Chain A
Amino acid sequence: MPARPLQLWQGLLLALMLAATLFPVFWLTMTAVKPPIDWNASPAVWIPKEPTLINFQTLFDPDAIRAYGVGGVSQAATKAVFGSLLASIVSTAVSVGLGLISAIGLSRYSTPGRATPLVILSGRMFPPAAIAVPFVIIFSLTNLMDTYTGLIAVYIAVTLPFSTWMLKSFVDELPREIEEAAMLDGKSRLRAHFTVTVPLIKGGLFATTMLVFILNWSEYMFAQVLSNTRLATIPVQLVKYVTATAGTLYGVQAALAVAAMAPLIAGGFFIQSHLARGLTFGAIKK
């Protein structure tokens, strides 16, 4: 269709939708820089007159907020930040690594007993609350409860279908002749995979890594049911702040939420052209 410019009403509609899209993020960010007096003011304060970073400071030093006469922040979020980083980075690395190997196998070889798409789909559809139950039982028996090892194992297994099918769709797009040409130069088939194919899907590898990282970083329920005192992640800590004070620590909670969201929005920006493919298991290619 020939591209035409927007008409006035269409421009207005677009602006309205944009405002609705960005408003919650704006509100959260503003709350994160509000001093306690503005947190729950009536009428609500949209833009604080005296923006402050005290909420962010409180995340690492729970006593900082006391200067404003606010109590109730008993825990620093430092541990949760490091916990989230550890769990997400390790599980993403392993998931994408295993996924890459599986993707090459599925794309370049005929593999017996491969999982059918329906199995993968049903794995995705199973309510996490229900898988969490046997996890708790098995992890209690094997002393994996409340450990990063246990949580990372869960994250790897849950995201493996994503990394495998997304990477496979990138490998599928590369003609096999490229590898065969490298083999004519005397490389083994295995070396051809890793010295020819892998560098050529760098972009796809990056997008997959980012998407899997986003999934792991955002995960709440497994982290919640598998953690007790030793294990902490940002989503779990956020819910702790909310439940501990019936949600009244607006500013501190919002600061943690912004800290959790910012890297994903930044990272998501770089992979947006691959998001559709990733989230549809490669069904939509661009």
Chain B
Amino acid sequence: MTSALQPDADLTPADPAPDGRKPQNPATEDPTAEDPTTEDPAGASLTAQGPASEADLRPAAPPSVASRPPKAQRKPRVQGRFFTVPGQIVSLVVLIMPLLVALYMSFTDWSPTRSSLRDAAFTGLDNYKELLVYDDRFVEAVLRTLFLAVTSLSLEFVLGLTLAVLFLRTFRGKRFLFSAFLTPMMVLPVVVGYTFWMLFQANGPINQILHLIGLAGVEWLKSSNLAFAAVVVTEVWHWTPLFFLILLSGLNSVPENPVRAAVILGASPRQVFWKVVFPMLRPVVAVAFVVRAMEVVKIFDEVFLLTRGGPGSSTETVSLYIYKLAFNDFQLAYGAAAAFLTLTGSLIMVHLLLTPVRDQLMENGR
């Protein structure tokens, strides 16, 4: 079964087969154990067997004191700084500084057409209040983005799980099909948006197929609801492969013994899947949802090329609205405030998504 996951094993002989590399010795298995003060976000506690670790998504499990090596072997502290400082400087200069500027900006009434940022009046939380209380378009964009996230992630999950379960069976050409099913992920978002714009034209192939099966074609991109459906279809096409990939890797690392036991005890295949296998998949499912949720709230390129947020503002997502505020209307300060509100909301959302599975993640982290 794992062969499906390593179709390129013979294509990259230089690869030291990380999949087959199991920790040789318990003392090295968990680097976090060596220094309880540090977090190990890459989930090093995971063995090659483990279904998943939430890795970066939470601080690592409390290190076990028993496996702590003698002091002499602990990580040298001082030299480490020299390794991480270059990367930190780059992030600080290029990413954190602009973020702080944007944060300051969001508390002013600055607009580049009127004054310089230094002269802009400090208006406190006015922008935020305006957004939340008076700006219906923002609130609608937020709700729309959430709705888009819920519908497309549910569909991606169902389709991805279906496909992953089909891949547990044996059939010819599996390696090739595995690659084929991953193709959409490699396509540039702008290209995805443009391609689906073509597909959804009134005289495009989707309507042609509808005609073939006896349905009337529709003007997909000219009606609010249909345009939204088109965005969902596009998003689902683009990212179902990621769910497929993650769920299949989860399914393949489900331990065999509980499954065998259930079979011996007379469970039907359906019961085995839903009562034994699926519960063990939950941490993997959580990772898939969190990773996708983070990305889908930022969705921009595909929608920009497919509908530009229209007709009207019926497919306008938060990112699209912020983009229009900043680069069409030059309301930079207001746009920055919208961005920070979105960020806060996203953080809360990811936290809530993680909470119900956190305990289970810890147990299954192994």
Contact = CB atoms under 8 A, between A and B. Distances in A.
A117 B41 contact: yes
A24 B272 contact: no
A182 interface: no
A25 B183 contact: yes
A239 B208 contact: no
Contacts of B177: 14, 18
12 contacts: A1-B256, A109-B80, A129-B335, A134-B102, A137-B117, A165-B42, A175-B24, A175-B25, A202-B14, A235-B301, A276-B242, A281-B41
Contact of A165 (B35, B56, B205): B56
A131 B91 CA distance: 13
B329 to A, nearest CB: 12
Contacts of A93: none
Given A120-B56, A156-B94, A268-B186, A130 B326 contact: yes
A14 B176 CA distance: 13
A11 B201 CA distance: 31
Contacts of A202: 14-16
Chief secondary structure at chain B's binding surface: helix
Contacts of B343: 122, 125-127, 130
Contacts of A220: 188-190, 300-301, 304
Interface in A235-258: 235, 238-239, 242, 247, 250, 253-254, 257
Interface in B39-90: 39-44, 46, 48, 50, 52-59, 74-77, 79-84, 86-88, 90
Interface string A200-222: 11111010000000100110110
A203 B55 contact: no
Chief secondary structure at chain A's binding surface: helix
A170 interface: yes
B8 A269 contact: yes
Nearest to B321: A129
B81 A265 contact: no
A170 B163 contact: no
Interface in A120-174: 120-135, 137-138, 153-154, 156-158, 160-161, 164-165, 168-170, 172-173
Nearest to B240: A21
A25 B205 CA distance: 13
B327 interface: yes
B103 to A, nearest CB: 9
Contact of A203 (B7, B12, B197): B12
A168 B335 CA distance: 35
A130 B191 contact: no
B11 A270 contact: yes
A58 interface: no
A126 B99 contact: yes
Interface in B167-195: 168-171, 177-192, 194-195
B132 interface: no
B294 interface: yes
A83 B91 CA distance: 23
Contact of B189 (A5, A42, A158, A218): A218
Contacts of A21: 180-181, 183-184, 237, 241
A36 interface: no
Contact of B350 (A41, A125, A137): A125
A35 interface: no
Nearest to B234: A24
Contacts of A13: 162, 166
B195 A111 contact: no
Interface stretch (A48-56, A63-71, A74-82, A95-103): A95-103
Given A156-B90, A283-B55, A24 B237 contact: yes
A203 B101 contact: no
The 4 tightest CB contacts between A and B, nearest first, are: A105-B83, A109-B80, A130-B339, A203-B15
A187 interface: no
B62 to A, nearest CB: 16
B154 interface: no
A202 B13 CA distance: 10
Nearest to A99: B87
A120 B194 CA distance: 31
Nearest to A164: B87
Interface string B1-24: 100011111011011111101011
Contacts of A118: 347
Given A122-B347, A128-B319, A200-B16, A158 B95 contact: yes
A26 to B, nearest CB: 10
Contacts of B340: 130
B113 to A, nearest CB: 13
A117 B301 contact: no
Given A109-B83, A129-B326, A133-B335, 18 more contacts: A5-B169, A10-B166, A20-B237, A102-B86, A109-B79, A121-B57, A125-B298, A133-B105, A134-B102, A165-B56, A172-B44, A175-B23, A242-B305, A268-B182, A270-B11, A276-B249, A281-B55, A286-B18
A121 B75 contact: no
A195 interface: no
